[in-house]
Amino acid sequence: MNCKWVSSQDENIKCKRHADSSGYCIFHKKNKSKRERILFNSYIKKGQISDFSGFYFEEEFNINKTLNYDYNKLKFYETIFCNDAKFNKFIFNNTVDFTKTEFKGKVDFTESTFLKNCIFSETKFNEKYINEQIFQRTNVNGQKLIVEKCINFPRLDGILFSPYTKFILKDINYKKEGAICGRNNYRIARVQAKQTEDNENIGYYYYNERNYASEFLKSNKYKGYKEYLSNDFFDFLSKYTIGYGEKPLRLLFISFFIISFFALIYMFIGLNTIDYGLIKLNLVSNTYSFYEFLKMYLEAWYFSMITFSTVGYGDIIAFGLIGKIIACIEVFLGITLHATWTSILLSRLVK
């Protein structure tokens, strides 16, 4: 009877080894006996196994004591490490894939070397060790290091990249407690992206770096609460209006909203026009058809647009003191957003 282990993602990936009474082979079996745990590593060495898909490691794993043979590619697909996993001081001569691997204990890659590609995709790490610097003095000399959709991915502080290694860091999310980890990792990704001229991802890394940096802004970092409030407020504006300069299209939507909102205000305050005289919406004594309402709104939107853009043709003016104050506020917002838009465009052109 063959082992009944089957990949949870691809039913075509299955184990064809002989199974015992539990229905699983020794590699995929849980709750192994003492004898089976001893045989586990010896069978790996004897079979010179390089595909560890679905393997269930209950004992501490030390790659230096286990892999003393040549291999084409190491595949840890859906592998589970129940205890500590030590990959430190090991030279990965070929590609290694940790897709959907789960590290329930502590994992260590310090002083290891990757000579080919390394993949961490949907890999799950123990949250307890999220701030551990498990890649200290790790040399990445391969073509790519891919880290995507991982859970509790630890800090990359101390990792050493080759100038030609492309580092891809995508969809890695951290809770507030792990914000410093997120900031550091995305900063490292941004620096390496600049090194390899990966301009496509630099903006993405910068946005996430700033986003996680803002998560641990604390009032005690400033001289006074007023200074903290000021910094936090402008960080909030930068994040949600322009995405720290990496999402300029947001400005277009914000500008359109401001123009449309002020146009509605002008309809109630009133506008003096050369062609139509006073335009003012009065819901108490008058009823308006949809066409009349739309015509009035378009006139108000036109005035709001030329006010926001600071063109000011003069064919329409705001009615009364309140109207002029509202117009001044819109002019201020327009000037501010125009300056922001210009700086973003120049910044992106420079990049």
Q: What pLDDT score does 248 carry?
A: 77
CA dihedral 108, 212, 339, 341 (to 10 degrees): 70
pLDDT digits (tens, 9 = 90+) for 193-210: 999 989 889 889 988 998
- What's the average model confidence in pLDDT over 173-192? 92
For CA atoms 54, 57, 62, 64, the dihedral sign is negative
- Classified by CATH at the fold level, domain 249-350 comes out as Helix Hairpins (1.10.287)
Residue pair 56/30 in contact (Cβ under 8 Å)? The answer is yes
164 or 241, greater pLDDT: 164
- What's the average model confidence in pLDDT over 249-273? 89
- What's the average model confidence in pLDDT over 8-32? 87
Q: What pLDDT score does 348 carry?
A: 64
Q: What pLDDT score does 183 carry?
A: 92
- What's the average model confidence in pLDDT over 121-134? 94
- What's the average model confidence in pLDDT over 135-156? 95
Task: Express as a percent the part of the chain with pLDDT over 90.
Answer: 48
Q: What pLDDT score does 41 carry?
A: 85
239 or 225, greater pLDDT: 239
Q: How confident is the model at residue 159 (pLDDT cuts 50, 70, 90)?
A: very high
Give the residue extent of every domain in the chain. 1-172, 176-240, 249-350
54 or 8, greater pLDDT: 54
Task: Express as a percent the part of the chain with pLDDT over 70.
Answer: 91
Average pLDDT taken over every residue of the chain: 87
pLDDT over 90 at 245, yes or no = no
pLDDT digits (tens, 9 = 90+) for 277-316: 777 887 666 677 788 888 889 989 999 999 999 888 888 8
Q: What pLDDT score does 213 carry?
A: 84
Q: What pLDDT score does 347 carry?
A: 67
pLDDT digits (tens, 9 = 90+) for 41-90: 888 888 899 999 999 999 999 999 888 888 889 999 999 999 999 999 99
- What's the average model confidence in pLDDT over 27-42? 88
Q: Tell me the C-alpha distance between 350 and 162, whole Å.
A: 25
Identify the weakest region by mean pLDDT among 40-44, 152-156, 229-233: 229-233
Q: How confident is the model at residue 219 (pLDDT cuts 50, 70, 90)?
A: very low
Q: What pLDDT score does 224 carry?
A: 59
